[in-house]
Amino acid sequence: MQKKIVTYIFLCCSAFASAQLNTDRIMSIGRNALYFDDYVLAIQYFNQVIAVKPYLYEPYMFRGIAKIQLGDFAGAEADCSQAIRLNPFVPQAYYARGFTRLQLDKFTEAEIDFNKALEFNPENQNLIRSRMYARAQNKDYDKAFADLDALEKLDPKNREWLYERGRLCFFNKDSAAAEQNLLQYVEKDSTNSSVWSMLALLKIQTNDTAALDYLNRAIAYGSDFSGDYINRGILNVRRLKYMTALEDYGYAIGLDGSTLAYYNRGLLRASLGDNNNAISDLNIVIQQDSLNYEARLRRALVFQTLRQYDSAIADFNIILKKYPYFVSAYRQMAIIYDARGDARNAFLAREKAYNIEKNREKIKNQLAQNTQSAENADGDDKEPAGDNVLSLAVQNVNKKRESFFSSNASQKIDNEKNKSENKYSDPLRGNVQDKYADIQLEKNFELNYYAKSDEIRRTPTYYIELDKFNKENKTTNDLKLTNRELPMTEAFIQTHFAQIEKLTKEIATHPTANLYFYRAIDFALVKDFTSAIEDLNRTLQIQPKFTLAAFERANIRYKILEISATQLLDTDAEHAMAQKQYQHDAELLLSDYDKVIADAPDFCFAYFNRANALCQTRNFAEAIDNYTHAITLEPNFAEAYFNRGIANLYLSNETQGLADLSKAGELGIAGAYNLIKRYNKQ
């Protein structure tokens, strides 16, 4: 969901900000970093712009977007508010601030922001959907359903509205209508874990045995919502499947460190006599939430069982400070004092319990008066119950799932998160075809000092000329070929800024092709693509046959082309210049790949990257030829098979496309199996 807001605003901002951004080098570099997910780096660039030109709205808005990606929603709200103060006529700033306010539970304010953005673009489905979510969270269901009606009119063939209507009915407590809409949805798409999860919650509320089957389906289809595992664990406890329940709680903890999962596991462990581990779990619950008196009560009872009486009494005293009329605590303390031979304190504890019972009605009336005068101050004065655990998991859906439910169901939930997180330690465990994969090309292979390891894929990234270059030019880190680059950390960023400064001094006294080349790599890593291109131009002027430099220049031009593509959503006359620039950039990068291939006809990654560029310009037939050439040079080129499969399917070459995806899966790209399954269901 957070990634979507970046893409959406990039698509929308070209008409509003391109003129300013094209004349502001640092702003442009910051947007490059933001687009390629280097959020910490992007913020540094936007800070520089703000320091020099604090009257511009764009750096505040884009810094706010970067903060959204980093989870700093309060900081993002402040930045977007400043952007709006500087320019109140930018709908994207209202959209971004509305999104942050959703995360901060400021639903009324979020709705106001979405209303303002819709004044500029009244038929924007992203905005209407977001406003619908804000209204639903405010329990203004009539207006939320009105928004859904508007969405259905704008896109009547979109089956996702069944999902959204089911979700709204669910939160409006219209269980029958919710189930009807959700079941209609799964008839068309049975792979959305969020739908099965919601159906399970409906069945849990009515104690229907189908709940377990629905939770199994949600989890089989890749759910990473810890509540699904917690609720399945509770149902397994009811079925006396204790070890299975412990596994479910463990998976939930592995997903997000859920306090509720620790609590439930602690209770189960205690009931099974595993008291020391139960204490460990309950310790974590109380560390995470010191006001969780139910957990403290449970821990006190386990301490009592273990005869750790001092610890038990300490917990009971904390509970009694909050709930001074909690009879059970006094009774348990009396038992503890008896066990220790402390007859006096045992008597006092029982006397206290007796007096509370004797004066129960009087105390109850007094508590009612106190509650009336300080209603909803910081919680009620009920004694800790500790029994209704299942309801907690159901209620938790509001905060833990709503951000997922508000996204486009065809995209399942937050796909960027899905790719990086898995409930299993082994990413290939289970039915990988059910784990949602985006229909996106595998990225270009580029030169980088850093690369994510991947023990599954079989694509060899060794290239003799690169190996020779690394050996001839001893540096701290060797350059690598990778399409799985790491986001830049603060430490990496500072390292490369320092390296740029060092190389600049060396170039001033002794300019060489290699120095310009290395500085270009550093510029590219900090997303200063213009400076990188300038250095690579100088490199190739000095050494025209420098194949790696030409390859890297093409790769950087491809990144620039990706960003340019976001400015081509509209085709009005005002975008003619952007379209011309896009065509020019495409011709330049294809020319570079042609040069690389002419000088190094055995370099399979040049063919692969050129094929990606051809796909970017929608020349799929020629792209397929290039992928094929790359595969001829490297028969285990998993990414080439994957991308050729997508290109073939785009051209309706079904048999070849599915065969290519199958081969890509065989070579380690597990997402290929999900695409095969979904394509076969069409």
Q: Which of 45, 91, 48 is nearest to 66 (CA)?
A: 45
**pLDDT at residue 318 above 60?**
yes
Q: The dihedral of CA 231, 237, 240, 242: what is its sign?
A: positive
Give the model's confidence band at 394: pLDDT under 50 very low, under 70 low, under 90 confident, else very high: very low
Rg, C-alpha atoms of the chain: 30
For domain 307-374, give the CATH superfamily.
Tetratricopeptide repeat domain (1.25.40.10)
Tens-place pLDDT, residues 204-237: 888 888 999 999 999 998 888 899 999 999 999 9
What pLDDT does 508 receive?
Answer: 94
CATH architecture under which domain 190-289+387-425 falls: Alpha Horseshoe (1.25)
> Is the model's pLDDT at 87 over the cut of 50?
yes
**Contact criterion met (CB below 8 Å) for 620 and 647:** yes
Secondary structure, 3-state, 611-639: HHHHHHCCCHHHHHHHHHHHHHHCCCCHH
> What confidence score (pLDDT) does residue 483 get?
87
pLDDT value at position 384? 60
Contact by Cβ (8 Å): 624, 607: no
Q: What does the pLDDT read at residue 584?
A: 79
At 24 the pLDDT is 66
Mean pLDDT of the chain: 82
Amino acid identity at 54: P
Give the residue from 42, 71, 52 showing the smallest Cα distance to 61. 42
The predicted model gives 20-37 an average pLDDT of 75
309 vs 433, more confident: 309
| Predicted pLDDT of residue 402 | 30
- Sequential DSSP letters for 511-541: --HHHHHHHHHHHHHTT-HHHHHHHHHHHHH
Residue 424 clears pLDDT 50, i.e. is over it: no
Q: What is the per-residue DSSP string for 437-470? A: ----PPPPPEEES-----SS-------HHHHHHH
297 neighbors 275 (Cβ within 8 angstroms): no
Q: Which of 37-46, 140-149, 627-636 has the lowest mean pLDDT?
A: 37-46
The pLDDT tens digits of the residues spanning 495-544 come to: 889 999 999 999 999 999 999 999 999 999 888 899 999 999 999 999 99
CA-to-CA dists, residue 520 to 33, 483, 525, 586, 587, angstroms? 16, 18, 9, 20, 21
Per-residue pLDDT for 7 more than 70?
Answer: no
- Residue 242, class by beta-carbon neighbours within 10 Å (0-12 exposed, 13-18 middle, 19+ buried)? middle
Task: State the pLDDT at residue 397.
Answer: 33
- Tell whether pTM > 0.75: no
Q: Half-sphere exposure (CA, 13 Å, Cβ side) for 525?
A: 28
Question: pLDDT at residue 435 above 80?
Answer: no
Q: Mind listing the pLDDT tens digit for each residue in 111-140?
A: 999 999 999 989 999 999 999 999 999 899
Residues 6+ apart with CB under 8 A from 516: 507, 535, 536, 538, 539, 542
User: What percentage of the chain carries pLDDT values higher than 70?
Assistant: 82
Q: What is the pLDDT of residue 532?
A: 93
| CB 565, CB 582: distance < 8 Å | yes
* pLDDT digits 0-9 by tens, 65-77: 988 887 778 888 9
Res 306: pLDDT? 94
Contact (Cβ atoms closer than 8 angstroms) between residue 114 and residue 131: yes
pLDDT in tens, 96-106: 999 999 988 99
Banded pLDDT at 57 (limits 50, 70, 90): very high
Residues forming a β-bridge with 482: 446
CATH number for the domain running over 1-121: 1.25.40.10
| pLDDT range class, residue 317, cuts 50, 70, 90 | very high
Task: Write down the pLDDT at residue 84.
Answer: 96
pLDDT digits (tens, 9 = 90+) for 147-197: 999 998 998 888 888 888 988 998 888 888 988 888 888 888 888 888 898
Q: Which two tokens stand for residue 547?
A: 């194949």
- What percent of the chain stands above pLDDT 90? 45
Residue 194 to residues 260, 436, 567: CA-CA distances in angstroms?
Answer: 20, 12, 33
342-391 tens-digit pLDDT: 999 999 999 999 998 888 888 777 777 665 554 444 444 455 653 333 33
* Range 17-44 average pLDDT: 73
Query: Which pLDDT belongs to residue 1?
Result: 54
Domain ranges of the chain: 1-121, 190-289+387-425, 307-374, 446-487+545-680
Task: Quickly state the pLDDT bin for 663 (edges 50, 70, 90).
Answer: confident
Range among 4-8, 32-36, 123-127, 381-385 rated most confident = 123-127
Identical fold for domains 1-121 and 307-374, yes or no, is: yes
pLDDT given at position 108: 94
The secondary structure of the chain in percent helix, strand, coil, rounded to multiples of 5, reads: 70, 0, 25
Which position has the higher pLDDT, 476 or 58?
A: 58
Nearby residues of 363 by Cβ (< 8 Å), 6 or more positions away: 325, 356
Amino acid at 39: Y
Section 236-251 average pLDDT: 93
- pLDDT bin (cut points 50, 70, 90) of residue 605 is very high
Sign of the CA dihedral 182, 188, 194, 199?
A: positive
Instruction: State residue 426's pLDDT score.
Output: 38
The residue assigned the tokens 């008409």 is: 15
**At the topology level of CATH, where does 446-487+545-680 sit?**
1.25.40
Pick 409 or 399 by higher pLDDT: 399
User: Rounded to an integer, what is the distance from CA 551 to the centroid of its chain?
Assistant: 32
**E strand or H helix at 480:** strand 480-482
